[in-house]
Amino acid sequence: MIDEDDMRDRDRKTLMYAVTLTAALLAAVPMAQADAELVALGKALFFDATLSEPPGQSCASCHAPIAGWTSPDSAVNASGGVHEGAVAGRFGNRRPLMAAYASFSPPLYLDNEEDHFVGGNFWDGRATGWLLGHPAAEQAQGPFLNPVEQNLTDDAELVRRVCAGSASGALRAWFGESVCANPTDGFNAIAQALLAFETSSEMNAFSSKYDYYLKDPQRYPLTEQEQLGLVLFEREDKGNCAACHPHTPGPNGEPPLFTDFTYDNLGVGRNPANPWYQQRERNPEGTAWRDPGLGGFLKTVPRFADRAEENLGKFKVPSLRNADLRPSEGFAKSYMHNGAHKSLEEVVHFYNTRDTKPVCERIDAPEPGRNCWPETEIAANVNTDELGNLGLSAEEEAAIVAFMRTLNDGWTPPKD
């Protein structure tokens, strides 16, 4: 017997996702159709390693196409998951999110109907989109001035370097001769150029096996294991992955983005290999530090400060696209906001058994993932409704992983 209240609730969630997706896609359309010259300018800036102090670090240093527009350093991914900044010895506190598909996220807002936050960029949503109208544009500005990333002194220094470099002519041609005279105008122009590239088809290819399958499932079928994974992915009484990673096309056939742009506390443990714990100059709490996530950012926003506590430990739901894209079979990738998990298999097993295994810190001879899971970083607000004890068999876990691997861009259809 179908519960009508549950049915209405699911329909409402589906509608809200469709509305959000449509708004995000429409917001991205003007830049997605930007002149090819602006896209080329944005790409040049994205790969420009002179825009750091000392020179040597570009946006692509942490968001490389060979690794699905995220970290291209296998050794870093296999350990702390956090990249060293332009200054030797300086590290941040989170692993790089995927830059691809991030431009579809709407500006951060409180969904009063669902009573949760949606949109924004960065793991904690601090690139809200409230200033420039687009979270990805604001996100593009952040790393340039971050002392643990590209480490430039201010926006004027970034504008000076761009206007003295090889991209100067293209910047002036698109935004006008005066763009280099005003640091604020120049800083925002650089963000718009980067946004143009980040909304381009090069970064958002929608070229995975699953995309082909959606277009023509008869011609491009999933394997039996992948098909089982898809079924489990969407079943509420099994994987339930689709609750936060919608997998169906939008109302006008828009390809799915595999994120609902919300925030969640998954109960992930700390990553003790994260070098941030040794950065005492910037992290005086040392190993006692806990990442507050969205709640930490909301504390700084007066109109949302009263919502901070209930959002501690919550992080942006990432797209699953390119989750396993890597340049070679032995290349390591890391997952979760702190890079604590090192494979899709580990992630799915964690979702499945988080609440059925003991806490590692409370048993003898702990083997994380085998006989225990590390203590959650922030115990408040953990999602216990949609994960933790899914009852999946080993075969079912493997099937979900197989399906997620169909989301990697660059799939080549077999020849007829």
Per-residue model confidence as pLDDT tens digits over 216-241: 999 999 999 999 999 999 999 999 99
**Pairing relationship of beta strands 116-118 and 263-264 according to DSSP bridges:** unpaired
Predicted pLDDT at 24: 45
> How many whole angstroms separate alpha carbon 99 and alpha carbon 248?
22
**Average pLDDT over every residue of 304-333:** 97
Predicted pLDDT at 19: 40
Q: How many CB atoms lie within 10 A of CB 170?
A: 18
> Is the CATH number of domain 209-271+315-406 3.20.20.30?
no
42, 261, 303 from 24: Cα distances, Å: 20, 10, 24
Radius of gyration of the chain (CA): 21
Predicted pLDDT at 190: 98
Residue type, 289: W
Residue 341 pLDDT exceeds 90: yes
Is residue 183 within 8 A of residue 151, CB to CB? The reply is no
Q: Which helix (H) or strand (E) element contains residue 236? A: none
Q: How confident is the model at residue 96 (pLDDT cuts 50, 70, 90)?
A: very high
Predicted pLDDT at 152: 98
Predicted pLDDT at 12: 41
**Average pLDDT over every residue of 134-157:** 98
Per-residue model confidence as pLDDT tens digits over 399-414: 999 999 999 999 999 8
Q: What percent of the chain has pLDDT over 70?
A: 92
Q: Which helix (H) or strand (E) element contains residue 61? A: none
Domain boundaries, the chain: 31-199, 209-271+315-406
| DSSP helix/strand/coil, 107 | coil
Residue 287 pLDDT exceeds 70: yes
Q: How confident is the model at residue 415 (pLDDT cuts 50, 70, 90)?
A: confident
Structure-block tokens of residue 85: 């900044």
> How many whole angstroms separate alpha carbon 128 and alpha carbon 143?
15
Residue 145 pLDDT exceeds 60: yes
pTM for this entry: 0.91
Length reported for the chain = 416
CATH superfamily of 31-199: Cytochrome c-like domain (1.10.760.10)
Per-residue model confidence as pLDDT tens digits over 16-38: 444 444 344 434 444 444 589 99
Cα dihedral 197→200→201→205 (10° resolution):
70
Per-residue model confidence as pLDDT tens digits over 39-91: 999 999 999 999 999 999 999 999 999 999 999 999 999 999 999 999 999 99
Q: How confident is the model at residue 372 (pLDDT cuts 50, 70, 90)?
A: very high
Structure-block tokens of residue 42: 């944005």
Predicted pLDDT at 81: 97
Structure-block tokens of residue 266: 């998954």
**Average pLDDT over every residue of 106-120:** 97
Q: How many CB atoms lie within 10 A of CB 15?
A: 12
Predicted pLDDT at 34: 56
Residue type, 356: T
